[in-house]
């Protein structure tokens, strides 16, 4: 056995629960301007303006919210909270956009 999967599963669930039922917005991008206000978040992109209740939004430190970038973000966050055994040399995280369309990120440890 490499390690108890319950630890990884618990950590992934916590990460997923933070994002569940939220509008995910990138913080670091040139073509989307995100402005946080007291009770709302304003987004300007492609000549359009959108306003969301602040509690419905999660602003992420990424450039785009693609499945590829989200799987990388989740892998990095998972590595920051789970102590993997020394014999684990690589980790993969897959994120399904829908059935049959999965984005994978792997990282050497």
Q: What is the pLDDT of residues 26-57, one digit of tens each?
A: 988 889 999 999 999 999 999 999 999 999 99
Helices (H), ranges, 55-107: 67-81
Angle between helices 67-81 and 5-19 (to 10 degrees): 130
Instruction: Count the domains in the chain.
Output: 1
CATH number at residue 62: 3.30.479.10
Beta-ladder partners of 60: 26
pTM for the whole thing?
0.83
Share of the chain above pLDDT 70, in %: 99
Average pLDDT along the chain: 92
- Which residues constitute the domain of residue 70? 5-108
């Amino acid at each position: 056995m490499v390690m108890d999967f319950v630890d990884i599963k618990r950590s992934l669930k916590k990460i997923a629960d933070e994002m569940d039922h939220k509008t995910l917005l990138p913080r670091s991008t040139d073509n989307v301007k995100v402005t946080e206000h007291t009770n709302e978040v304003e987004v300007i992109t492609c000549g359009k303006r959108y306003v969301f209740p602040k509690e419905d939004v999660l602003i992420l430190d990424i450039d785009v919210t693609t499945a590829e970038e989200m799987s990388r973000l989740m892998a990095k966050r998972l590595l920051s909270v789970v102590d993997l055994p020394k014999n684990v040399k690589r980790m993969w995280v897959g994120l399904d956009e829908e059935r049959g369309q999965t984005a994978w990120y792997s990282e050497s440890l």
